[in-house]
Amino acid sequence: MKFGEQIKERRQELDLTQAEVAEKYFVTRQAVSNWEHDKTYPDLNMLVKISNVYQISLDSLLREDQKLKDYLEQGRAMNSFSVSYGFIWVMFGLSYFLDDSTKGGSIAWYGMVAIFLLAMIYEELVTPFFLGINRRTFYRSGKRPDEKLSIFAKLFYGVFVLAVIISVILVHQGMSGRYASSALTILVGVQYLLRKYIYVARK
């Protein structure tokens, strides 16, 4: 039995309406309806809540619905990839502090640049296929179509814009552009590291 059929049948057994279930999960009634009709899927945290409220094991919910398992695997893969990519951005940001006036520093700098460029090419060409995401959708937003920005993301991007403004002012006042570039590059890396908090599933 598919995920949607299971939770619909269990809801009816418990004599609950979609609105009552939505209130328990702090989501909209439409979200519950979409789950029951397999139009969208909950994330893993919500799936645990569903398992607890309906008293259905996670194994039972996942066993016969390959699409749900694929959905969860895709989400984990995307988060794992973003963490790796984020570390590369952070390392590239830190590489601005390398002393490229020495031979060793120069080799380390160009090596980091090469790794960074390869990572960017990898993301552009391979990631959509690897994650099972439509290429056009990925290039347009960098996320799955069933995701949206979280409140945390909006605060983070506000801080990022503020950091850009401050960097421009400081560079104009004489601060080295290298330090500003390093800080902004590291912030981009942090955004990838925190991807699981940046994007949340649409309800």
d(CA 98, CA 178): 10
Please give the CATH topology (third level) of the domain spanning 3-64. 434 Repressor (Amino-terminal Domain) (1.10.260)
User: What is the domain partition of the chain in residue ranges?
Assistant: 3-64, 78-201
Distance CA 200, CA 152 (A): 10
| Of the listed ranges 26-30, 72-76, 159-163, 187-191, the one predicted with least confidence | 72-76
Q: How does pLDDT run across 158-198, given as a tens digit for each residue? A: 999 999 898 888 888 887 778 888 888 999 889 888 877 78
Q: What's the whole-number average pLDDT of the chain? A: 79
**Does position 128 have pLDDT exceeding 70, yes or no?**
no
> CA 165, 170, 171 angle in degrees (round to 5)?
100
